[in-house]
Amino acid sequence: MEYAKRLSGEFGIKEEYAGNIIALLDEGNTIPFIARYRKEMHGTLDDQVIREISERLEYLRNLDKRREEVRSLIEGAGKLSDEVEKALSEAVQLSEIEDIYRPFRPKRRTRASAAKEKGLEGLADIILAQQNNDIDDIAKEYVNEEKEVLSAEEAVQGACDIIAENISDDPEIRKRLKNIIRLNGDLRSKAADPEQKSVYSSYYDYAEPVKSVPGHRILPIDRGEREGFLKAGIDIDPEKCLTIMYRLMLKSQNKCSELVKAACDDAYTRLIFPSVEREIRSELTERADEQSIKVYAANLRQLLMQPPVKGYTAIGLDPGYRTGCKLAVVDCTGRVLDTSVIYPTHGASMKEKSKKTLKSMVKKHNAGVIAIGNGTASRETELFTAECISELDEKISYIIVNEAGASVYSASKLAAAEMPDLDLTLRSAVSIARRLQDPLAELVKIDPKSIGVGQYQHDMPQKRLSEALDGVVEDCVNTVGADLNTASPALLTRVSGISSAVSKNIVAYREENGAFHSRSELKKVPKLGPKAFEQCAGFLRITESSEPLDNTAVHPESYTAAKKLLEICGYTPEDIKNGGAQGLKDKVNEIGMEKAAEQTGAGVPTLKDIIEELTKPGRDPRDELPPPLLRTDVLEIKDLKTGMELKGTVRNVIDFGVFVDIGVHQDGLVHISEISEKRIKHPLDVLSVGDVVNVRVLSVDTEKGRISLSMKQVSSEK
């Protein structure tokens, strides 16, 4: 298969670019490196598109591998006809190849295989030819007591079993019936026990066309069926399928034709439909899984890229009832300054004592923000914190932080190595504070599946989910970059080209020799060879390096070009240290971008990146995003009134809407129909996790804790 040509057509890119991407991947380059530092070779595609191309390339290669396997198996059986060869060569999906192989695949014992053992294939061929009316007389010739064919009727039945299986194995028939069912079938579910209450009650009598059923309904139906609450399947008028089969199989009108027609009916009911139904339901589930993975990945990307709350000493509160609320103070670099345990829910006296402790911590360490985990007792802790803030003269705010995975992290070897002197319950409070200060650096320490910003993540294929989410984490870390002298091993492992072993070697080198003074010093790290250096160097920053370019995303291979650019525009490397070469872009425009690229020896895309970095050295792309919404007071759900307008933060995006935190502990749902005045296909088209939005309360159900919100006709100022 000509992979470059195929990928070019599918992704709408030049065939040359597709070929370059294939070559770069095959050479062992990482996707972040290709996306950032080889733009001239692929036309400035972003990392997400290159990752999709990489996944598609792997699928196409697996397709060809399976094509060759099947070709060899059929050829080995001596049955590789020109027709089969042509069908194999033209197959574009794995399912098509499997359908072609189906008639040749070794089978367990079936009615048809038993009939073949009895020597009835010849009779089946005669019936299928549909040229004889005296089939009863011909069938008598196949009566054989030794082979347990005791009558002409038994012979005919056996022959029809063979015909039915052959019809079922016919790739063209299966292909056509699949298309008919995809276009005309309905996915239907009903209650296994209508009297039994469950979360699946909305699917107790449900039907929707296969061609349009959304993934967020497929996955709960699948789960409800697995748990025994639902019975589900595909409904279609059999005549739609049988008509196709009759048209392909019937050649005349005689006794043989009637037998072939009956074999078609048997093949459809007993063999084809159950098999095709399973395949199509599997396709639906796969499609739903991919959509859910896409949503999860998009949400995770936005969560990881949340702007850090920089420059504050932060207090992390990990709420709890019986064991109290764990408290940790960390400075603006994430260093632990103080810890404590308070008991704001253990009566009035303990609450006052807890207030005294929290206030003293705020004053002692000049804390500027409090991060509260959103788990058990979060609501009570939020009310307690808001009371404390109202009684303080110091200016301080709080924010609710998603604590998913914090407890897993606090009990991990990584947390124990980072905070060996702290009890694991206090480590989670530290993690909550650090999540606010730098979400990316802290969340990379946790299995992305534990972060919980998707839908039905436990129902998805876990290997595929892990691959997708790991890709997102890798892309985010390399988009932001990492400080070589402060990054944790967990963060370094996600940097392009750095393995777990090499990340540990970097930290060990740092501990033994002190801070890195230049990127080139990386070459001294054990097991970090030339290829790894090429892949990782541009993504690592050294703030205090004597080489100003070491604190930018300019790759060492482009240092000569960057310095030449500074020279021809009248700047020096010292200008980078002193806040950046301001006005550089204007001077390059005066020279002309193409001419400047020629003079520096860099491609235009690379030159544009260099200009951006020299203008804003050490920039963090997350700083350009809206900051998180900090609060000083708290609402309760009973305070909400229909029509009230509020400001909130998008916590989760799903297929049918978004959940928004409006400060009442219970997130409100903005249904997809209430997101925009214009019709949108998916909430991700207009909203992301972390977005601060204005909403209007549509309805409140305090009993069920449900809040319905709208973003339509809400004033932009709140």
The pLDDT of 535-560, averaged and rounded, is 94
Amino acid letter, residue 309:
V
Give me the pLDDT at residue 452, please: 66
| Tens of pLDDT, residues 291-313 | 889 888 888 898 889 889 888 99
Count the helices and strands in the chain (H runs, E runs): 31, 15
Q: Is the pLDDT of residue 509 over 60?
A: yes
Each domain of the chain, given as residue ranges in start order, spans 3-104, 507-624, 637-710
Neighbours of 89 (CB within 10 A): 10
CA distances from 89 to 55, 57, 59, 86, 285 (A): 22, 18, 16, 5, 28
Separation between Cα atoms, residue 457 and residue 292, nearest integer Å: 7
Give me the pLDDT at residue 544, please: 87
Residue 271 or residue 632, greater confidence: 271
| Tens of pLDDT, residues 484-506 | 999 999 999 999 999 999 999 99
| Tens of pLDDT, residues 569-613 | 999 888 888 877 888 999 999 999 999 999 999 999 999 999 999
The pLDDT of 156-182, averaged and rounded, is 94
Averaged pLDDT of the chain = 91
Q: Is the pLDDT of residue 716 over 60?
A: no
Q: Is the pLDDT of residue 717 over 60?
A: no
The pLDDT of 426-454, averaged and rounded, is 87
CA distances from 365 to 332, 352, 392, 442 (A): 11, 20, 14, 22
Counting residues of the chain whose pLDDT is more than 70, the rounded percentage is: 98
Give me the pLDDT at residue 692, please: 87
Separation between Cα atoms, residue 490 and residue 474, nearest integer Å: 11
Q: Is the pLDDT of residue 468 over 80?
A: yes
What are the DSSP calls for 413-426, one per residue? Answer: HHHHHH-TTS-HHH
With beta carbons less than 8 A apart as the criterion, state whether 564 and 600 touch: yes
The helix (H) or strand (E) run that includes residue 330 is: strand 325-330
pTM: 0.83
Integer Rg of the chain from CA: 33
Report the chain's terminal Cα–Cα distance, integer Å. 58
The helix (H) or strand (E) run that includes residue 160 is: helix 152-169
Q: Is the pLDDT of residue 436 over 70?
A: yes
Return the CATH number of 3-104, one of 3.30.428.10, 3.30.420.40, 1.10.10.650, 1.50.10.10: 1.10.10.650
| Tens of pLDDT, residues 172-204 | 999 999 999 999 999 999 999 999 999 999 999
| Tens of pLDDT, residues 217-263 | 999 999 999 999 999 999 999 999 999 999 999 988 888 999 999 99
Closest to 476 in 3D by CA, of 434, 443, 451: 443
With beta carbons less than 8 A apart as the criterion, state whether 230 and 224 touch: yes
What are the DSSP calls for 262-289, one per residue? Answer: HHHHHIIIIIIHHHHHHHHHHHHHHHHH
Closest to 673 in 3D by CA, of 687, 683, 684: 683
With beta carbons less than 8 A apart as the criterion, state whether 184 and 236 touch: yes
Q: Is the pLDDT of residue 451 over 50?
A: yes
Q: Write out the CATH class of domain 637-710.
A: mainly beta
The pLDDT of 346-353, averaged and rounded, is 93
β-partners of residue 399 are 371
- CATH topology identical between 3-104 and 637-710: no
Separation between Cα atoms, residue 696 and residue 714, nearest integer Å: 6
The pLDDT of 117-124, averaged and rounded, is 93
At the topology level, CATH places domain 507-624 in: DNA polymerase; domain 1 (1.10.150)
| Tens of pLDDT, residues 22-62 | 999 999 999 999 999 999 999 999 999 999 999 999 999 99
Counting residues of the chain whose pLDDT is more than 90, the rounded percentage is: 67
| Tens of pLDDT, residues 654-703 | 888 999 988 777 889 999 999 998 889 899 989 988 888 999 999 998 88
Give me the pLDDT at residue 417, please: 87
Q: How confident is the model at residue 718 (pLDDT cuts 50, 70, 90)?
A: very low
| Tens of pLDDT, residues 250-286 | 988 888 999 999 999 999 999 999 999 999 999 999 9
